[in-house]
């Protein structure tokens, strides 16, 4: 199989594979939505809480893929070219996520204490926060986030498409610079989204690092989904021509880094609040460290951090697509556990309970998300068709891979130089 | 690098076969591909070794060096004076007093420690990330790290009051006094973090120096130089087995240094964040401090590197590529720091907590407001010029910006420490902090220490890693393919 930069086309199995995935996603969505309807009728409060969890679980995948896309445009490593299509499809799900927010607007009264005017009137602190935490401004911000993200995302994709189609590199500099700005804006607006959607569930509590936790957690979720897809399609051309072990190695390193970063940020927040032990902040952890919540919290330390960290420490594991994919799927399960631990105690407080809707909601939203995502993936090549940096990236990755392959004895993949 | 294929442009027929596109058509707007990592003067092994070891092995000293060293040494004498008075009279000569019991000492400690971080990032993280542009700047950046850690270490030890008992900070055995440090205190973690950092940085720097010291030994013409450089080079013969072991240990040290880039300043941020003082107790502190450290460190690398490059004619080694990339790192980390300011301000308001709100209001409008706004100007406004490539590669502008950032990062620590302490919970306990002559003398004195060490370094050791640049020359040639 020659790595030919001039004929990047999908093999005939790609479209059926995407369609197959989409059909499964639709089936999950139908069952999930049916369950949600049953849940909404039987227990509307629980429905809204579970729906928020399911929604957040998936919206950060979209935001995370968007941030990885912006990152790729800035740094242009070889790993980014292999996943660009997967990331672009993720960016295209952003408008869908605005639509899927609608049930939360209907449930605001159930979810957010600060929407109750009588409570706010009696609570000095909430009263002070009212200029920010009020329903109108909440919705204005919501729309603003999605307009900003979609606008930047679709514009960047348009510029990239022009480069690919016209083989005209003149806009590359603009993409690079705009993507750097975009990354900045994602972090900033994502921070406020985190305050709006999650932090304000407990409106007296605050933490300055929370936005970073939200955005970097999203990047981790987005990367995990991307790795799962990349491994799923690794046998199909054009990806199969380009996926040298070094690419998986780099993806694994990125997953490793983001996992460590998650732990670093989570631990920093914990140690500072625990040590300070002030009345404004400690209750948030006091609830989450007692009874079953505490078990989950400790579980996160070992299962969200220590276990994947130990596995990804190994170069062999990172270079093995099956292991890498298994770790990515594991991380997706852990992301659920983390978000559940962050969100659910806001309403349940110290009584732990797990409702079946907490599973049904992520499945329903996920089914819809994945079905829509597959639609965005259809009809496009799985690889970047053209980019002036493509050859350079492969030249470098080829050198690194040749050295690695000599060391590991795994498939020497650099059979033909780019000049040959 | 794409421009390396210039000698033989690779042609790519387009998919539609309409026209030919060559790789050389990469637009001028793409920075990375524009600047070669080494200049034309660094053309072969001999020219590299000759140039860099020549700076060390030449006879005598230049006039510029004498002037620079003289100024640095005078400042060092100022430090000696300040410290002598301190030992005679005690800590009372400084401006600190309750409520501001931590003043310049800790401000300067954090400032110096932060500066060191760029050296570690350049030598360790950029090595692991396979960034070829680290090669020309790692040596003097690592030296900067060591000297900065030495300066930083002065302040907590001098602040002890009885500095001769500094070893009480360590848990030592036998524990005859039944006196162990408080393990829950980040100040103790600082002792571990900083001493580990200093040790690993020294080892890393020295291991990297060994092949170059051997080159100096071989090129030295006097017996004395041959003996000194010979002893320091530990019998290096440049054999394959030497290189194999060298590469292994170098990678291990890089791996060990990498977490230190994060851990040291994270622990430093805990010194403040684990307390309850509004303005100190903020969860954003760890990543925000780490970013600030790298920000100020790169500023200092530029502050030192730009004159060094000019006066020693190192333009072929510290190229626009280096300046451009360092400026970009500065821009990125600067933006993270600004994000930190924005979160402090927003959460100060959003918290609804009386003291948090007052803290941020006092910063912006209180007696120290000029310091706060100067900080915003230095770290938030001026670095935005670096979005433009013109400023990233113009040495004079870049040097000025780096100075502004150094000042800004010092102000940041001053703002965090002095403003937060001077007005805390009870208005009757409020106060005001004024640094005294001795505060300034100690601070400026450590600059003397730093610069003195740096001038000695550029006179007696190769400022650029000769063996690594030679390796880079080899790689660049291999990429060209026709040399």
Each residue's pLDDT tens digit, A109-128? 999 999 999 999 999 999 99
Tell me which residue in B23, B25, B347 faces A206 most closely, judged by beta carbons.
B347
pLDDT value of residue B18: 32
Residue A156, pLDDT > 80, answer: yes
- pLDDT tier for residue B404 given thresholds of 50, 70 and 90: very high
- pLDDT tier for residue A412 given thresholds of 50, 70 and 90: very low
What are φ and ψ of residue B100, in 5° steps? -90, 80
Tell me which residue in B13, B281, B344 faces A6 most closely, judged by beta carbons.
B13
Is B275 near chain A, with CB under 8 Å?
yes
Gap between the Cα atoms of B53 and B214, Å rounded? 11
Strand intervals (E) in B66-196:
none
CB spacing of A272 vs B274 below 8 angstroms: yes
The nearest alpha carbon in chain A to B288 belongs to: A209
Is B2 near chain A, with CB under 8 Å?
yes
- pLDDT tier for residue B51 given thresholds of 50, 70 and 90: confident
For residues B26-40, average pLDDT = 61
Helix or strand holding residue B359 (H, E): helix B354-365
Residues 27-46 of B with CB under 8 A from A: 27-31, 33
CB spacing of B286 vs A418 below 8 angstroms: no
Tell me which residue in A177, A272, A280 faces B351 most closely, judged by beta carbons.
A280
Gap between the Cα atoms of A303 and B322, Å rounded? 41
pLDDT value of residue A395: 72
Chain B residues in contact with A388 (beta carbon < 8 A): 2, 21, 23, 25-27, 30
The nearest alpha carbon in chain A to B343 belongs to: A208
CB spacing of B26 vs A172 below 8 angstroms: yes
Gap between the Cα atoms of B141 and B329, Å rounded? 15
Chain A residues in contact with B15 (beta carbon < 8 A): 6-8, 385-386
Best A74, A114, A206, A401 residue to mutate vs chain B (most B CBs within 10 Å): A206
pLDDT in tens, A46-78: 999 999 999 999 999 999 999 999 999 998 778
CB spacing of B15 vs A392 below 8 angstroms: no
Tell me which residue in A207, A212, A386 faces B287 most closely, judged by beta carbons.
A212
pLDDT in tens, B286-323: 999 999 999 999 999 999 999 999 998 888 889 888 99
Chain A residues in contact with B19 (beta carbon < 8 A): 167
CB spacing of A209 vs B286 below 8 angstroms: yes
For residues A190-201, average pLDDT = 97
Tell me which residue in B27, B274, B339 faces A173 most closely, judged by beta carbons.
B27
Structure tokens at B329: 């790192």
Is A39 near chain B, with CB under 8 Å?
no
Tell me which residue in B1, B28, B283 faces A269 most closely, judged by beta carbons.
B283
**Greatest Cα pair distance in chain A:** 76
Helix (H, G, I), strand (E, B) or coil at B41: coil
Size of interface A-B (CB pairs under 8 A): 133
CB spacing of B1 vs A6 below 8 angstroms: no
In percent, the amount of chain A with pLDDT more than 70 equals: 94
Helix or strand holding residue B13 (H, E): strand B11-13
Chain A residues in contact with B276 (beta carbon < 8 A): 276-278
Tell me which residue in A180, A188, A207 faces B339 most closely, judged by beta carbons.
A188
Residues 141-180 of B with CB under 8 A from A: none
pLDDT value of residue A182: 96
Structure tokens at A135: 């329903």
The nearest alpha carbon in chain A to B267 belongs to: A268
Taking the CA of residue B2 and the nearest CA in chain A, the distance in Å comes to 6
pLDDT value of residue A409: 60
For residues A174-198, average pLDDT = 95
Residues 210-269 of A with CB under 8 A from B: 210-212, 264-265, 268-269
CB spacing of A129 vs B352 below 8 angstroms: yes
Residue A2, pLDDT > 70, answer: no
Best B127, B251, B284 residue to mutate vs chain A (most A CBs within 10 Å): B284
CB spacing of B14 vs A167 below 8 angstroms: yes
CB-based contacts of B406, cutoff 8 Å, min separation 6: B115, B296, B299, B300, B303
For residues A279-283, average pLDDT = 92
Gap between the Cα atoms of A101 and A141, Å rounded? 13
Report which of B258, B300, B287 is spatially closest to residue B112, judged by C-alpha positions: B300
Residue B23, pLDDT > 50, answer: no
Taking the CA of residue B11 and the nearest CA in chain A, the distance in Å comes to 9
Tell me which residue in B12, B283, B339 faces A207 most closely, judged by beta carbons.
B283
Is A169 near chain B, with CB under 8 Å?
yes
Which of A40-54, A350-364, B14-28, B292-306 has the least mean pLDDT? B14-28
pLDDT value of residue A368: 97
pLDDT in tens, B352-367: 989 999 999 999 999 9
pLDDT value of residue A293: 94
For residues A315-340, average pLDDT = 95
According to DSSP, the residues that pair with B20 across neighbouring strands are: B13
pLDDT value of residue A417: 38
pLDDT value of residue B26: 44
Using the CB atoms, write b or e for A135-163: b if 16+ within 10 Å: eeebeebbeebbebbbebbeebbebbeeb
For residues A97-119, average pLDDT = 95
Chain A residues in contact with B277 (beta carbon < 8 A): none
Residue B378, pLDDT > 70, answer: yes
For residues A23-39, average pLDDT = 96
pLDDT value of residue A232: 93
Residue B3, pLDDT > 90, answer: no
Write down the mean pLDDT value for chain B. 87
Report which of B261, B268, B80, B277 is spatially closest to residue B156, judged by C-alpha positions: B268
Is A136 near chain B, with CB under 8 Å?
no
Tell me which residue in A125, A271, A388 faces B352 most closely, judged by beta carbons.
A125
- Can you state the percent helix, strand and coil of chain B, rounding each to 5? 75, 0, 25
Is B270 near chain A, with CB under 8 Å?
yes
pLDDT value of residue A331: 97
Cβ contact B483:B45 at 8 Å? no
CB spacing of B26 vs A400 below 8 angstroms: no
- pLDDT tier for residue A414 given thresholds of 50, 70 and 90: very low
Is A209 near chain B, with CB under 8 Å?
yes
The nearest alpha carbon in chain B to A420 belongs to: B10
CB spacing of A206 vs B27 below 8 angstroms: no
pLDDT value of residue A26: 97
Report which of B386, B397, B394 is spatially closest to residue A180, judged by C-alpha positions: B386
Tell me which residue in B10, B25, B270 faces A419 most closely, judged by beta carbons.
B10
Is B389 near chain A, with CB under 8 Å?
no
Is A184 near chain B, with CB under 8 Å?
yes
For residues B84-93, average pLDDT = 93
Residue A187, pLDDT > 70, answer: yes
Q: What is the dihedral of CA A9, A11, A16, A22, to 10 degrees?
A: -50
ipTM > 0.85, yes or no: yes
pLDDT value of residue B173: 67
- Supply the pTM of this predicted model: 0.91
For residues B99-123, average pLDDT = 91
CB spacing of A385 vs B287 below 8 angstroms: no
Is B335 near chain A, with CB under 8 Å?
yes
Taking the CA of residue B181 and the nearest CA in chain A, the distance in Å comes to 17
Best A253, A272, A274, A397 residue to mutate vs chain B (most B CBs within 10 Å): A272
CB spacing of A392 vs B33 below 8 angstroms: yes
Q: What is the dihedral of CA B253, B259, B260, B264, to 10 degrees?
A: -170
- pLDDT tier for residue B480 given thresholds of 50, 70 and 90: low
Best A79, A132, A209 residue to mutate vs chain B (most B CBs within 10 Å): A209
B75 cis-preceded (ω within 30 degrees of 0): no
Tell me which residue in A128, A169, A271 faces B352 most closely, judged by beta carbons.
A128
- pLDDT tier for residue A416 given thresholds of 50, 70 and 90: very low
pLDDT in tens, B210-250: 999 999 999 988 999 999 999 999 999 989 999 999 989 99
């Amino acid at each position: 199989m020659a790595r030919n930069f001039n004929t990047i086309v999908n093999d005939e199995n790609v479209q059926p594979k995407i369609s197959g995935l989409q059909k499964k996603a639709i089936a999950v969505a139908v069952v999930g939505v049916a369950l949600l309807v049953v849940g909404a009728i039987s227990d509307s409060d629980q429905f809204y809480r579970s729906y928020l969890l399911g929604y957040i679980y998936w919206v950060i995948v979209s935001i995370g893929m968007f941030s990885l896309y912006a990152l790729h445009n800035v740094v242009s490593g070889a790993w980014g070219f292999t996943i660009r299509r997967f990331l672009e499809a993720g960016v295209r799900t952003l408008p869908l996520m605005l639509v899927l927010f609608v049930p939360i607007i209907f449930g605001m009264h159930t979810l957010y204490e600060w929407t109750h005017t009588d409570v706010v009137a009696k609570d000095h602190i909430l009263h002070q926060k009212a200029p920010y935490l009020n329903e109108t401004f909440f919705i204005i911000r919501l729309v603003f986030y999605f307009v900003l993200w979609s606008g930047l995302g679709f514009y960047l994709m348009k510029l990239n498409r022009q480069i690919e189609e016209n083989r005209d590199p003149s806009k590359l500099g603009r993409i690079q610079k705009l993507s750097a700005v975009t990354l900045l804006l994602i972090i900033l607006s994502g921070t406020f989204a985190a305050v709006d959607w999650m932090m304000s569930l407990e409106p007296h509590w605050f933490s300055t690092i929370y936005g970073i936790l939200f955005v970097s957690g999203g990047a981790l979720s987005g990367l995990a989904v991307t790795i799962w897809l990349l491994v799923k399609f690794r046998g199909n051309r054009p990806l199969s021509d380009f996926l040298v072990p070094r690419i998986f190695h780099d993806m694994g390193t990125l997953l490793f880094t983001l996992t460590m970063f998650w732990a670093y940020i989570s631990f920093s927040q914990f140690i500072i609040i625990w040590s300070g032990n002030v009345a404004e902040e400690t209750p948030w952890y006091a609830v989450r460290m007692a009874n079953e919540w505490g078990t989950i919290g400790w579980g996160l330390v070992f299962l969200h951090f220590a276990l994947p960290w130990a596995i990804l420490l190994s170069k062999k594991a990172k270079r093995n697509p099956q292991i890498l994919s298994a770790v990515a799927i594991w991380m997706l399960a852990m992301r659920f556990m983390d978000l559940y631990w962050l969100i659910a105690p806001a309403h349940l407080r110290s009584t732990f309970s797990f409702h079946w809707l907490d599973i049904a909601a992520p499945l329903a939203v996920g089914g819809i998300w994945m079905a829509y995502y597959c639609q965005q993936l259809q009809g496009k090549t799985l690889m970047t068709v053209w980019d002036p940096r493509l050859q350079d990236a492969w030249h470098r990755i080829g050198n690194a891979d040749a050295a690695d392959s000599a060391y590991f004895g795994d498939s020497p993949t650099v059979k033909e130089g780019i000049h040959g | 690098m794409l421009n390396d294929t210039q000698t033989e442009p690779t042609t790519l027929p387009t998919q539609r076969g309409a026209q030919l596109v060559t790789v050389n058509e990469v637009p001028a707007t793409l920075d990375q591909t524009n600047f070669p990592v080494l200049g034309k003067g660094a053309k072969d092994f001999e020219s590299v070794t000759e140039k860099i070891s020549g700076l060390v092995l030449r006879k005598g000293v230049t006039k510029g060096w004498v002037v620079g060293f003289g100024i640095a040494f005078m400042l060092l004498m100022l430090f000696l004076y300040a410290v002598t008075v301190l030992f005679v009279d005690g800590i009372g000569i400084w401006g600190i007093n309750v409520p501001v019991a931590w003043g310049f000492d800790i401000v300067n400690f954090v400032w110096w420690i932060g500066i060191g971080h760029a050296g570690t990032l350049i030598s360790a993280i950029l090595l692991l990330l396979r960034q070829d542009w680290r090669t020309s700047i790692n040596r003097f950046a690592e030296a900067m790290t060591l000297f900065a850690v030495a300066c930083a270490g002065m302040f907590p030890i001098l602040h002890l009051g009885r500095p001769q008992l500094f070893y009480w900070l360590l848990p030592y055995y036998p524990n005859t006094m039944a006196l162990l440090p408080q393990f829950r205190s980040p100040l103790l973690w600082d002792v571990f973090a900083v001493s580990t950092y200093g040790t690993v940085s020294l080892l890393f720097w020295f291991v990297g120096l060994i092949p170059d010291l051997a080159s100096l030994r071989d090129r030295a013409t006097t017996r004395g130089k041959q003996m000194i450089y010979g002893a320091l080079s530990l019998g290096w013969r440049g054999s394959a087995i030497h290189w194999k072991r060298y590469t292994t240990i170098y990678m291990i040290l890089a791996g060990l240094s990498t977490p230190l880039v994060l851990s040291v300043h994270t622990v430093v941020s805990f010194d403040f964040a684990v307390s309850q003082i509004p303005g100190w107790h903020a969860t954003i502190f760890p990543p925000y401090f780490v970013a600030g450290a790298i920000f100020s460190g790169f500023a200092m690398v530029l502050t030192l590197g730009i004159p060094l490059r000019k006066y020693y004619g190192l333009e072929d080694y510290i190229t626009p590529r280096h300046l451009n990339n360092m400026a970009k790192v500065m821009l990125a980390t600067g933006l993270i720091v600004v994000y930190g300011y924005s979160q402090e301000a927003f959460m100060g308001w959003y918290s609804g907590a009386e003291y948090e709100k007052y803290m941020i209001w006092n910063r912006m409008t209180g007696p120290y407001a000029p310091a706060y706004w100067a900080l915003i100007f230095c770290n938030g406004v001026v670095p935005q010029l670096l979005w433009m490539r013109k400023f990233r590669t113009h040495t004079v502008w870049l040097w000025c910006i780096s100075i502004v950032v150094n000042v800004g990062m010092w102000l940041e620590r001053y703002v965090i420490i002095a403003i937060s302490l001077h007005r805390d919970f009870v208005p009757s306990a409020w106060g005001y902090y004024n640094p005294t002559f001795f505060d300034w003398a100690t601070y400026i004195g450590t600059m003397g220490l730093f610069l003195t060490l740096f001038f000695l370094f550029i006179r007696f050791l190769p400022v650029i890693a000769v063996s690594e640049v030679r390796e880079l020359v080899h790689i660049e040639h291999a990429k060209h393919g026709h040399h």
